[in-house]
Structure 1
Amino acid sequence: MSPNKFKRNDLLFSLCGLNCSLCPMFIRGGCSGCREGSTCYQICEFAPCSIEHGNIDYCFECDEYPCEKYDGVDLHDSLITHKNQLKDMEKAKTIGIENYRAEQREKRGILDKLLNEYDSGCGDVFFCLAVNLMEVDDLKKVVNEADESTKNMTLDEKSSFIMDLLNNCAENRNIQLKLRH
């Protein structure tokens, strides 16, 4: 199959269930992702499968989902976490893709705030990971607390403060904010 036949309508949530809009490479503009004609097609086993199954937008639309391609998919990370890949795919299937996209847009807004107001230059991967793995309500609470508590802090102090808040909140939810390679 030719990569020219591979088409994606949603560039923010991948075919296989990764949240591209919350990925540091996507945010930096360095990821061609699951786009028509991208190099992703050459290394991704999901893209050719999409074509074979009628250019489906999400694997959960396939009668064979979850197939053997998902065996162990969430055991390792790339530049974006794969920890919730299956969970996010199931959530999108259950609540509907439009509702899922709305939640992801809200998360992206929180991520943008973290990157614009709390990143001292080296927190993008951490913030992307936190926003990807944590629930919106927890993220909002952390951001609200940080906004109130960091008004007179330097950017480095603000960054450290909110990272500690995110780590503490994640620990309370048994979420580990580290990529696994």
Structure 2
Amino acid sequence: MKGFHRQNKLFSLCGLNCGLCPMYLNKNCLGCGEENHSCKIARCSMEHNGIEYCFQCNEYPCEKYEKIDKFDSFISHRNQKSDLEKARQIGIEAYNAEQEEKVEILGTLLAGYNDGRKKTLFCVAVNLLQIHELREVLGKIENRSDLETLTLKEKSTFAAWLLKAAAEKNNIDLKLRKKK
């Protein structure tokens, strides 16, 4: 979008964790409103003196947020509002530090445990699970005594199983929700 630029490429102004999105990771998306991407929320930000995050606006939450978390795109939208609130409460620097750790965990999962079929699952799981749960899952993976003898497919299946178990324990569905 002409005239709109973001400094923070990990966390969008509307609350998406862009750094955990498969499109962003594949370099198919440059983030909020960059280049030819049109976004009504980016346009709104420009109309409100270029606020960095929607929670900074006196009108937030506005009508743009009424159904924002009902469906997903390439990344889950389920935690947009709660992630914006968390960032507001703990501050952007602390929120970004957590997101950077999540990006590292996702990188580890994709580099060492993706059999070519788990990228979306790993992205959604890292986005929706809490950081302490992800650390625990990664610890279980890395501490498995026979890890070095497993094939990539077996490692991938084990990592996916642990992530699904952590999600199930918290009543989290790791499938992206499509618009019907």
TM-based fold match above 0.5? yes
| Structure 2 counterpart of 1:22, one-letter code | L
Q: Which of 47, 56, 70 is the aligned partner of 1:52?
A: 47
Q: Which moved more, 1:8-17 or 1:108-117?
A: 8-17
2:158 paired with 1:161: yes
Cα separation, 2, equivalents of 1:116 and 1:130: 16
2:20 paired with 1:14: no
Q: Is the 8 A contact 1:24 1:124 kept in 2?
A: yes
Q: How does 1:77-116 map to 2 (within 5 A)?
A: 77-116=72-111
| Structure 2 counterpart of 1:47, one-letter code | A
| Structure 2 counterpart of 1:10, one-letter code | N
Structure 1 gaps of 5+ residues are: none
Cα separation, 2, equivalents of 1:177 and 1:140: 18
Cα separation, 1, equivalents of 2:153 and 2:131: 24
What is the CA RMSD across the aligned residues, in angstroms?
Answer: 1.0
2:59 paired with 1:64: yes
Q: Is the 8 A contact 2:14 2:54 kept in 1?
A: yes
Percent of residue pairs identical: 50
Residues 87-114 of structure 1, C-alpha deviations (whole Å, 9 max, x = no match): 1011001100000000000111100000
Residues 74-95 of structure 1, C-alpha deviations (whole Å, 9 max, x = no match): 0100000001011101100110
> 1:5 Cα deviation (Å)?
2.1
Partner of 1:176: 173
Residues 136-168 of structure 1, C-alpha deviations (whole Å, 9 max, x = no match): 111111111111222320000000011011101
Q: What is the TM-score when the length of structure 2 is the normalising length?
A: 0.94
| Structure 2 counterpart of 1:140, one-letter code | R
Cα separation, 1, equivalents of 2:26 and 2:2: 25
Cα separation, 2, equivalents of 1:173 and 1:5: 41
Q: Which of 24, 28, 46 is the aligned partner of 1:30?
A: 28
Q: What is the TM-score when the length of structure 1 is the normalising length?
A: 0.94
Structure 2 gaps of 5+ residues are: none
| Structure 2 counterpart of 1:7, one-letter code | H
What secondary structure, in the 3-state scheme, does the structure 1 residue paired with 2:165 have?
Answer: helix
Cα separation, 2, equivalents of 1:130 and 1:63: 32
> 1:35 Cα deviation (Å)?
4.5
2:71 paired with 1:73: no
| Structure 2 counterpart of 1:167, one-letter code | K
Q: Which of 134, 138, 159 is the aligned partner of 2:133?
A: 138
